[in-house]
Amino acid sequence: MGVMRREGRGHRDDTDCFPSAGRTVEAGALRAGYCGKTMSASQTSDAPTLLVKIFGKDRPGITAGLFDTLAGYSVDVVDIEQVVTRGRIVLCALVTQPPAGLEGGLRATVHSWAESLKLQAEIISGRGDNRPRGHGRSLVTVLGHPLTAQSTAAIAARITATGGNIDRIFRLAKYPVTAVEFAVSGAEPETLRTALVTEAAALGVDVAVVAAGLHRRAQRLVVMDVDSTLIQDEVIELFAAHADCEDEVAEVTAAAMRGELDFEQSLHARVALLEGLDASVVDKVRSEVRLTPGARTLIRTLKRLGYQVGVVSGGFTQVTDDLKERLGLDFAQANTLEIVDGKLTGKVTGEIVDRAGKARLLRRFAAEAGVPLAQTVAIGDGANDLDMLNAAGLGVAFNAKPVVREAAHTAVNFPFLDTVLYLLGVTREEVEAADMHVD
C-alpha cells in the first residue's frame, strides 16, 4: 500500500517573498496576498470546495482521466491523496468549487466517466481544506510479526485516549516484519510514548514514537554496540571457548549482572582468564563471528543515504577493526587485548570502553562529523549502552533486557537489525529498489 500526499507548492526564491533580518511584514499583508499576488480561492480556509472520491479496480490512466475530466470546469487542486491496495484504488481529490452554474455539470460528468470505467464516484460539498492539525505531531511506527487486528485496534484506541488523532497510515514493510507508520496530531510524542510502551509489550508488538518534522530526516550518524547487536555473539565467550574457560567467564558475567562487579572489574576478570592463549586464536574468533540478520542491509542502506556509521564496543579491537574493514564502517572503538610474544597476556591496554565511555565516544564521533547529537542514532542491547542510548537523538534498544527497553527512546524485539530502518521512515520497497542498482 502506498500513499502520495503533496502539501506545498513549487520552490520559489524566499528573498522575493519573505522579510530578511531586521524587516517586518504586516500579518494582514501576508493574509491578503502572497508575493504581491491576490490569494486564490484555494488558498483561503473557508472557500467552498468539493471532495471527489474515486474507488474501484486500479488500471493505468485513472488519475489522468479524473483530472482531465475536472479540467473542463475551471477548478483548482487543493489536495490529492491516492492509495492502491491489492489492485484496488482509492483516489481523493479536493478541488475548489467550479464557477456558478457548473457544479451540476461537473458532478454528472465525473459520475459518467467513473461508470464508463466501472468505478464508483462520490462527490461531497464542503468548505476549505483539512481541519487544522492539533498541537503535537508525532510518527508512531508499529512492528509486528504478525501484526494482528487486535494489536492494531489496541494501539489505535490508546492513541485516541491520549487525545491524538490519526491523520494517515502508511505501510513501511511487509517482511521480515509488518511495519506501519501512523501520523498522529494532537498529542505530544512523550505522552504517546508513555501510553504505548506498556500496551505494546502486552500485545507483543514494537512501537516507536518520534516527533514529526525536518529533524527526523536530518539524522546523519549511527553508532552501534557490537556484541548481541551488530553480531549475534559475545566475543569474550568465543575467546573463552578456545581457552577452555567458558564456565569461569560465565560466572564472572553472572556476578556482573547481579551488580557484584562493575563493567571494568568484570572485563579485567574475564580477560585475565585468557592469559597464555596463542594469538593465532584471534583469526579463529574473527571467522566465528556471526553478523546479526539484516546487519549488512542496514549499513549498506544507511551509507547510501549519506549516514556515517560506526561501532563502539566493550569487546576488543582485534575483532571490531576487522568488522570495520569488512563492512565499510566509518569508525570503530573498543578495548584492546594485550599480546606479547605471540601470546595474550590476560590484560587490556589503553582507555577502557565502558558505559560512560560509549556515551563519550558518541559525542566525540558526532563532533568530529559535525553532526548535532539530536541528529544521531544509537543502537544497543545492554545496560552498558544506556548512557549512549539516552545521549543520542534516537536511542534504540535492540533485543534488550527489560531495564534497557524501558529506559531507551524505543525498542526493537525482532532479530533483524535492518528493522531499525523503518524507525527512520525508510520503506522495504526503497531498500530493495536500491539493491537492484549497483552503486
Q: Coil, strand or helix: which one is 12? A: coil
Gap between the Cα atoms of 295 and 195, Å rounded:
30
Q: Are β-strands 376-380 and 178-185 bridged in parallel, bridged antiparallel, or unpaired?
A: unpaired
- Which member of 68, 79, 227, 341 is catalytic? 227
DSSP string for 323-364: HHHHHT-SEEEEEEEEEETTEEEEEEESS---HHHHHHHHHH
308 contacts 322 by C-beta, under 8 angstroms: no
Gap between the Cα atoms of 348 and 414, Å rounded:
33
What count of residues does the chain have? 439
With a CB cutoff of 8 Å and minimum separation 6, the contacts of 67 are 77, 93
Distances (CA, A) of 357 to 199, 223, 250, 316: 33, 13, 24, 14
Which residue in the block uniquely carries the three cell numbers 569474550? 236
- Which member of 206, 225, 381, 387 is catalytic? 225
233 grid coordinates: 555473539
Is 385 catalytic? The answer is: no
Active site residues: 225, 227
